[in-house]
Homo-oligomer: A and B are copies of this chain.
Amino acid sequence: MARPREFDTDTAMQGAMRVFWMKGYAATNLPDLLSAMGITRGSFYKAFDDKESVYLAALDYYDDKIVSTVVERLSAGTDDSASACLAPLFACTGDAADKGCFICNAMVELAPFNAKVAERTGRMAERVRAAIEDVLRRFDIGGNDTHRRELSTLVLHLYFGFHAMGRASRVHGDWQARLSRLFGEAAPA
């Protein structure tokens, strides 16, 4: 061992995730990335390979921190309706407020051209879909397993489209009322 690293890898990765999440891969140049990570070129290329590998690591970080949190919230939801339990998917607070969904952004920008991105985003999307399916199962929505799976895919698409539009306008309308009717729940007060 010798001189220890001055920056915190986790903090730097969080910055990388944020900037790639907001601006995308191509529009993020190295100075942008470095200042978001709080380090300089030297440290960057000592600790990481290149821009692309950090992007992939940022996707993994998103999976580990954001997707995992959402999935846990979905499976731990104690609300009395499925639409309420799915709220974490449509919450527009914190990072998601202006950045949308990193999975969706990466799918749209890079998945057709980068197999690693396609694989990661596909895997994360499946995690989210499975979590949605679990919520539907808890509330016995969708009838049989086949239909429930289809319905969970529908909600997943809804989730992506919701956040894609959110990047263009901050007007989302009443998503919970829409979901509530979709599930045939009694109208909330």
Chain B residues with CB under 8 Å of A87's CB are none
Q: Which residues of B contact A125 (CB under 8 A)?
A: 165, 168
User: How many A residues are at the interface, by size bracket?
Assistant: 35 or more
Stretch of A8-16, A71-79, A176-184 with 4 or more beta carbons under 8 angstroms from chain B: A176-184
Tell whether A104 is near chain B: CB-to-CB under 8 Å.
yes
Contact A156 B167 (CB under 8 A): no
Given that A100-B108, A125-B168 are known contacts, is A178 also in contact with B150, CB under 8 Å in the complex? yes
Of B23, B156, B158, the contact of A154 (CB 8 Å cutoff): B158
Q: A164: which B residues are within 8 A, CB to CB?
A: 104, 107-108, 157, 160-161, 164
A184 nearest CB neighbor, chain B only: B184
Q: Does A147 contact B (CB under 8 A)?
A: yes
A26 within 8 A of B: yes
Least CB distance, A188 to chain B, in whole angstroms: 14
Residues of B within 8 A of A113 (CB): 23, 27
Tell me the bound Cα distance from A162 to B167 in angstroms: 17
Taking the closest CB of chain B, its distance from the CB of A74, in whole angstroms, is 17
CA distance in complex: A165, B160 (Å): 8
Kindly state the separation between the CA atoms of A26 and B167 in the bound complex, as whole angstroms: 17
A-B contact pairs, 5 of them (CB 8 A): A100-B108, A105-B108, A107-B168, A158-B158, A182-B182
